Amino acid sequence: MQHPIILITGATAGFGKACAEKFARGGYDLILTGRRAERLTELQAALENDHGVRVLPLPFDVRDPGACSEAVASIPQEWQRISILVNNAGLAAGLAPIDQGALDDWETMIDTNVKGLLYMTRLVIPFLKQQPSSQIINMGSTAAKDVYPNGNVYCATKHAVGALSEAMRIDLLPYGIRVTAVHPGAAETEFSQVRFKGDEQRAAKVYEGFTPLSAEDVADAVYFCATRPAHVSINDLVITCTAQANALFTFKGPSEEK
């Protein structure tokens, strides 16, 4: 019996890695992309050993359209039965007022969060069209719903993910391809470390006083969306920790855990 195949971008850490582990436990073969080849190789070995699935690592940067095309073109015939694409690769870079933002940070976020998602979606859609009940899952953010101070360009990129998800859902309707946008709130991953350029102390303060989501919490939600019956599509899912109402309001006090 052939395992279903899922392609996950940005699989070397955070939500992407947690999704890879979750779908491997569910019996999926995985095509995993990321910029850090060593991490992909380590994850491949762990998933194949622990879950008996096959893993195809593709190390490249989704910001590079040529690298995206080359990587997808290299997928062997037996791996082309892709039924799910998870566009997870994304990041925040910097946190500054619009008049003080670093241009390099803006370019990095736009190229990764928007253009990289577009490159991979266009390249993988031909494979999805060949599979019944195929699906695209785009990783958004509560920043796609609410704009917060100093979040300007990052929030704009995640609003774009939301809009593109709606557009994909319309354009791909004739092919029966479901499109889901998953919008996590505060989650303790490498996200803040990346945003603050490796400043671990500043990153840790983001999650002080409340219990944030884990990457595994978000992976559980993604897996749920991907395993609904063929006639069911969860179009838009916002998931936050209990202490967070939205991107703007988080109650920071004594931990709610007993």
Query: The tokens of 63 are what?
Result: 């910001």
Give a yes or no: residue 250 inside a domain.
Answer: no
Domain region containing 23: 5-239
Q: Which two tokens stand for residue 24?
A: 């491997």
Q: Residue 177 is encoded by which pair of tokens? A: 């391809």
Least confident of 22-36, 133-147, 218-232, 240-254: 240-254
Catalytic pick among 154, 175, 207, 223: 154
Question: What's the CATH code of the domain at 146?
Answer: 3.40.50.720
148 as an active site residue: the answer is no
Residue 207: count of CB within 10 angstroms of its CB: 17
Distance separating alpha carbons of residues 98 and 90, to the nearest angstrom:
20
CA pair distance 232, 72, nearest whole angstrom: 28
Judge whether 245 lies within some domain: no
At 97-147, the pLDDT tens digits run 999 999 999 999 999 999 999 999 999 999 999 999 999 999 999 999 999
For residue 169, the tally of other CB atoms under 10 A from its CB is: 18
Number of domains into which the chain is organized: 1
pLDDT digits (tens, 9 = 90+) for 157-193: 999 999 999 999 999 999 999 999 999 999 988 788 8
DSSP 214: -
Across the chain, the runs of DSSP E, i.e. the strands, are 5-8, 29-34, 55-59, 82-87, 135-139, 178-184, 236-239
Q: Is residue 77 part of a domain?
A: yes
Q: Has residue 35 been placed in a domain? A: yes
Instruction: Decide which of 91 and 190 is more confident.
Output: 91
pLDDT of residue 257: 47
Query: Residue 254 pLDDT more than 80?
Result: no
